[in-house]
Amino acid sequence: MPRTRRIEGYAIVSEDGMLANAAGIMPDSLKFAADRRFFESGLDGVDVVVHGRHSHERQQHSYLRRRLILTRQVPAVAADPSNEKALFWNPAGASFEQALAVLETPDGIVGVIGGTEVFGIFLDRYDVFHLSRAPDVRLPGGRPVFPEVPTRTPEQVLAIHGLDRGQRQVLDPAKGLAVVSWKRSSKFDR
Ligand SMILES: NC(=O)c1ccc[n+]([C@@H]2O[C@H](COP(=O)([O-])OP(=O)(O)OC[C@H]3O[C@@H](n4cnc5c(N)ncnc54)[C@H](OP(=O)(O)O)[C@@H]3O)[C@@H](O)[C@H]2O)c1
């Protein structure tokens, strides 16, 4: 039975809204076991993972997942010779719907996992965005979670794009780590 498509975003960011440092690397200060478990169990529930060429999630179950890998090295959609469940996708040459159709997953749950540009592409389409915040970490000059950061905070960007602050889950009370799931308000059409 095909399900309606649902688009979920997952990110953990520093206090200044960065997902990686100035060198484009996700530092250990953004890595937490509790957030990794939250992220892994979320991705275990999706049908397709979508990410840029440098943002593979590298998890135990990654090999099971269908995925779209954004790259400008292909004109539109092309097979990934190293992974039969993956396609390379260039949004300049094929729509998201076209890419999903080639992947044979027109419906289902999509997990968008970054980086900056990829998160930005889906801002008007997320049903939910799970934003984890690493306390007491700042990454000046780093890679922002959305293109509009740091002009705006990640929360302001989500709100401008029609998402409402939702449930807050404390993932690690000792470390002050929490995730807020932002949900699309029904008054916004996509
Ligand atoms: N904290 C978090 O939650 C989080 C989330 C995601 C990533 N990260 C970290 O962020 C770093 C990676 O960042 P990144 O900026 O390099 O991101 P990335 O999106 O993974 O990789 C960038 C590459 O993806 C392709 N791409 C991106 N946007 C595209 C578009 N609109 N059209 C076509 N291709 C596109 C391009 O590949 P080509 O060069 O092949 O054209 C581009 O060079 C890593 O350290 C990763 O661990 C952290």
For residue 118, give the amino acid letter: V
pLDDT in tens, 5-60: 899 999 999 999 999 999 999 999 999 999 999 999 999 999 999 999 999 999 99
Q: What is the pairing mode between strands 48-52 and 109-112?
A: parallel
Kindly state the helix (H) or strand (E) to which residue 142 belongs, with its residue range. Answer: none
CA of 98 to the centre of ligand 1 (A): 21
C-beta 132 within 6 A of ligand 1: no
What pLDDT is recorded for position 136?
93
Instruction: Give the closest residue (by CA) to ligand 1 atom 47.
Output: 26
CA of 69 to the centre of ligand 1 (A): 9
C-beta 25 within 6 A of ligand 1: yes
C-alpha gyration radius of the chain? 16
CA 143 – CA 157 distance, rounded (Å): 15
For residue 180, give the amino acid letter: V
Q: What is the average per-residue pLDDT within 64-68?
A: 97
CA of 80 to the centre of ligand 1 (A): 17
pLDDT in tens, 72-85: 999 999 999 999 99
pLDDT in tens, 146-167: 999 999 999 999 999 999 999 9
Instruction: Give the closest residue (by CA) to ligand 1 atom 3.
Output: 11
CA 71 – CA 10 distance, rounded (Å): 20
Q: Count CB-CB contacts under 10 A for residue 144.
A: 24
Ligand 1 binding pocket mutation candidate from 8, 59, 71 (most atoms within 8 A of CB):
71
Q: Given pLDDT bands bounded at 50, 70 and 90, which one contains residue 187?
A: low
C-beta 115 within 6 A of ligand 1: yes
What pLDDT is recorded for position 2?
47
CA 107 – CA 129 distance, rounded (Å): 19
